Amino acid sequence: MSKWLAVAVLMVVCLGWGEGVASSPGGSREGARVPRESRAGAAEKPETVTLDQLVEEALSRSPSIEAASRAAQARRVRIPAETTLPDPVVSFQNMGDLNPPSLQAGDPSSGRFYGIEQEIPFPGKLALKGKLAASETEAEEWSAEEVRRQVVADLKEAYYEYGLVLKSLEIVEKDRKLLETMTEVAQSRYAVGEGSQQDVLRAQVELSRLQDRLAELEQRRASVVALINKLVYRPDDSPLGKPVFPENSQLALKEEEMVRLAMDQAASLQKQDRQVERSEHAVELARKEYYPDFALGFTYVDRRSDPEMYGLMVKAKVPLYFWRKQRLDLESARLSLSATRKQRESEASSVTYAVRNAHAAALSAQKLAQLYGTTIVPQARLTFEASLASYQVGDSDFRMLMESLSALLEYELKQYEALAELHKAVARLELFTGPLTPPRDF
């Protein structure tokens, strides 16, 4: 193969590869919206799967979400029982002969006694038990919400990782095909004495490196697909379509606004607040235990030939040993309340750190994605094109061309990594703040 034929082949392949990379986020919007795969025909376009579809599926099928929801429901159905009076006691007593059990004629104390007794807690105790149970229920419901948000956040991170892996596979595969052609060109030039064996070996080493990267990406794809299937409760080997990403590149709120929103919306903090309320009600109930509970009773006496008799009864349970029971219970409730408040403070500190950390990661990723898209990748592409032009006229060697191509590949991959990290950081923020405006699409 002559020198000019080799260069012509290389130019055709490089220009075709450049058309593909122009559809990256750093290229024009038209190129990003109309990839070459879609121009090849609608029949070849792979099936897509949206994040909303997966989230809806996970919310309806996830066993962990269902278990947490059932646990909250189980708490709620117990509230009426906590505010209900204790069961009454019904009694029957026969005063007379033992065998057979009958009354003794002529004995006025002989008779059949029918009684009912109802325990009545001191006023306010049942209401406090109801408030305590309601606080426990709300804490359990927020715990279920925390599980739901965690599943959604994990699913979003896995989804964006899946998109990153697929994009990386596309870029590396294009680079591999180009390198295969460049290797053939280098071999042809070496065969006719116009190139060096070092160029051939350099191209082969770079090609082997890309093969290794492709194998690693394939392993990552299999792993993330299995994770997504686990989160949506599908079989591990279920096929997964191509991801679609949202279209907003700006964070909705500043850092301090994010922190304030998290303080109001974080499920873990809401759960801690309800647990503090529950402990406060427990302290009030422990104070109420210093007051006596009552019992009312009614008795009917059947004495056969003698006149019937009726009895009324009032009882009071006196907390006589309060210094060994009620006083210690109250102290224990106060200590539990103090511990719960400290746990709430600790959780608030953890949430604040997590929100600030995720916001910083999102902001950094956003800036990097913009930097790569508007400056670094276009400059790397121009450098590669300049190296190609110099190589065509013999002003640069094969090594410089390979280095510029390798740099362009790495910068494009880093651009997509930054975009994926932006999405993941927003998903981590939403774990505490609830849904936010989604960041930019790929």
DSSP 339-397: HHHHHHHHHHHHHHHHHHHHHHHHHHHHHHHHHIIIIIHHHHHHHHHHHHHHHHHTSS-
CB 21 within 8 A of CB 381: yes
**How many CB atoms lie under 10 A from the CB of residue 316?**
10
In a domain, 313, yes or no: no
- Residue in the block written with tokens 């709430």: 344
Structure tokens at 31: 């190129």
Task: Determine, yes or no, domain membership for 113.
Answer: no
CB 369 within 8 A of CB 417: no
Give the residue from 120, 140, 85 showing the smallest Cα distance to 274: 140
Letter for the amino acid at 354?
A
Give a yes or no: residue 308 inside a domain: no
Domain count, the chain: 1
User: Is residue 113 within 8 Å of residue 313, measured between CB atoms?
Assistant: no
Sign of CA dihedral 258, 264, 270, 274: positive
Domain assignment of residue 391, yes or no: yes
In angstroms, rounded to a whole number, what is the distance separating the alpha carbons of residues 303 and 183? Answer: 116
* Domain boundaries, position 336: 3-24+47-85+121-289+325-433
In a domain? residue 413: yes
In single-letter form, the type of residue at position 231 comes to L
Residue 305 lies in a domain: no
**pTM of this prediction?**
0.80
Question: 360: closest CA among 421, 415, 433?
Answer: 421
CA distance 187 to 201: 9
DSSP per position, 189-229: HHHTTSS-HHHHHHHHHHHHHHHHHHHHHHHHHHHHHHHHH
- How far apart are alpha carbons 91 and 258 in whole angstroms? 64
In a domain, 283, yes or no: yes
Which residues, listed in sequence order, are joined to residue 297 by a DSSP beta bridge?
117, 313
Helix (H, G, I), strand (E, B) or coil at 314: strand
Find out whether 288 and 122 touch, Cβ atoms under 8 Å.
yes
| Distance separating alpha carbons of residues 384 and 15, to the nearest angstrom | 11
Is there a domain that residue 442 lies in? no
Per DSSP, the three-state class of 172 is: helix
Distance CA 90, CA 303 (A): 19
pLDDT in tens, the chain (442 residues): 445 444 544 544 454 545 444 444 544 333 333 343 333 333 344 488 888 899 999 999 999 999 999 999 999 999 999 999 999 999 998 887 777 777 777 777 788 899 999 999 999 999 999 999 999 999 999 999 999 999 999 999 999 999 999 999 999 988 888 877 777 766 776 676 666 777 778 778 888 888 898 999 999 999 999 999 999 999 888 888 888 765 546 777 789 999 999 999 999 999 999 999 999 999 999 999 999 999 999 999 988 777 888 999 999 998 888 888 889 999 999 999 999 999 999 999 999 999 999 999 999 998 898 899 889 999 998 988 888 777 766 666 777 878 888 888 899 999 899 999 998 999 999 999 988 765 544 4
Tell me the CATH number at 429.
1.20.1600.10
Q: At 81, which helix (H) or strand (E)?
A: helix 79-82
Which amino acid is it at 157? E
